[in-house]
């Protein structure tokens, strides 16, 4: 089954609500209309309802099943609830005046809807840079218990093959503890997308075949990840061929349950992760779906500013599938 066919079946009829802060963008409201029509999510667009409906009408987009909230016209009672909650969440780091200013930013407003459980998830980034989406999520939704850093993963899909590559988006040079967190969160991401997690901690060395600080870091991260999730199949350090090719895995790491059968590939730092997924995408003709932000208390996804309507539609489906 195609990834998205499976995800659609998982979320259809679940009434999961996704807020889109960039509601007046044609790609956003067109995707929201499709999502509502297909019964996959309940979309909330932020923006001036009159202007959005007028634009959508000109584009022959029907928004009858899409909720639109104008932050400027939000009821005083609901706005006060949001202000009080944000002041409390920031724990003295921002004054009421500063919080009021923050809430004029649609990404902060949308994030607060998620925090207050008025939406299940958020998708932004078609207009705003990554930091504008991630910053409010980190300040308000924050990371899950036991997780100190968020990370980014891609689902790599080609025909019936499906893998997770991480971290490919966020952490430039993670230490061993962060790398261990990335491994565990990536395994959980794999489960969401119906991939049996077999986690390979990648390196240029396999089981001590080379020495150096970079190898030691991956070895330490592997140990920490295994201690964190002893029932999970996590192994390293492994070269990519040892992780991926059964014959090579059997030769280089004969006692490993992961070698030669890995489905989740954890790169030692962002540079190799970013290069790796793009090589698979361009030379291997894999579809790279993401990035998925891992480790947050609630799902938030960051779109590329070059995203198409189809990209928005798919990312929203993936985001809704992460709601627990």
Query: Residue 298: what pLDDT?
Result: 96
Q: Give the single-character DSSP code of 17.
A: E
- Record the pTM: 0.87
In 3-state terms, what secondary structure has residue 284?
coil
Residues found in the chain: 324
- How many Cα atoms occupy the beta-carbon half-sphere of 318 within 13 Å? 26
* Residue range 95-145, pLDDT digits in tens: 999 999 999 999 999 999 999 999 999 999 999 988 899 999 999 999 999
Q: Please tell me the distance from the alpha carbon of residue 316 to that of residue 41, in angstroms, as a whole number.
A: 8
Query: 245 pLDDT band (50/70/90 cuts)?
Result: very high
Q: What is the 3-state secondary structure (H, E, C) of 198-253?
A: EEEEECCCCCCCCCCHHHHHHHHHHHHHHHHCCCCEEEEEECHHHHHCHHHHHHHC
Question: What is the rounded average pLDDT for all residues in the chain?
Answer: 94
Cβ(156)–Cβ(162) below 8 Å: yes
* Residue range 42-62, pLDDT digits in tens: 999 999 999 999 999 999 999
* Mean pLDDT calculated for residue range 143-155: 92
Please determine, for residue 1, whether its predicted confidence score (pLDDT) is greater than 80.
no
* Residue range 23-36, pLDDT digits in tens: 999 999 999 999 99
């Amino acid at each position: 089954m195609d990834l998205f066919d499976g995800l659609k079946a998982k979320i259809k009829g679940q009434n999961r609500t996704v807020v889109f802060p960039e509601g007046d963008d044609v790609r956003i409201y067109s995707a929201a209309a499709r999502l509502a029509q297909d019964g996959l999510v309940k979309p909330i667009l932020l923006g001036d309802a009159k202007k959005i409906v007028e634009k959508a009408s000109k584009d022959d987009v029907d928004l009858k099943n899409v909720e639109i909230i104008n932050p400027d016209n939000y009821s005083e009672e609901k706005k006060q609830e949001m202000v009080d909650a944000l002041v409390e969440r920031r724990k003295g780091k921002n004054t009421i005046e500063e919080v009021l200013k923050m809430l004029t930013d649609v990404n902060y407003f949308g994030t607060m809807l998620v925090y207050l459980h008025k939406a299940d998830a958020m998708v932004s980034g078609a207009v705003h840079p990554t930091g504008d989406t991630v910053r409010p999520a980190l300040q308000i939704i924050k990371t899950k218990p036991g997780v100190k850093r968020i990370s980014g993963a891609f689902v790599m899909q080609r025909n019936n093959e499906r893998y997770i590559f991480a971290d490919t988006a966020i952490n430039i040079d993670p230490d061993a503890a962060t790398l261990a967190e990335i491994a565990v969160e990536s395994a959980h991401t794999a489960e969401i997308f119906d991939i049996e997690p077999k986690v390979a901690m990648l390196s240029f060395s396999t089981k001590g075949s080379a020495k150096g600080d970079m190898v030691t870091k991956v070895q330490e991260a592997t140990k920490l990840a295994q201690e964190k999730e002893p029932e999970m199949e996590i192994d390293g350090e492994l070269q990519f061929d040892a992780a991926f090719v059964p014959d090579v895995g059997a030769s280089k790491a004969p006692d490993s349950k992961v070698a030669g059968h890995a489905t989740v590939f954890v790169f030692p730092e962002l540079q190799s992760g970013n290069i790796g997924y793009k090589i698979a995408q361009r030379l291997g003709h894999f579809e790279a779906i993401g990035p998925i932000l891992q480790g947050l208390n609630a799902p938030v996804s960051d779109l590329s500013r070059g995203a198409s309507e189809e990209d928005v539609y798919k990312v929203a489906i993936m985001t809704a599938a992460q709601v627990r």
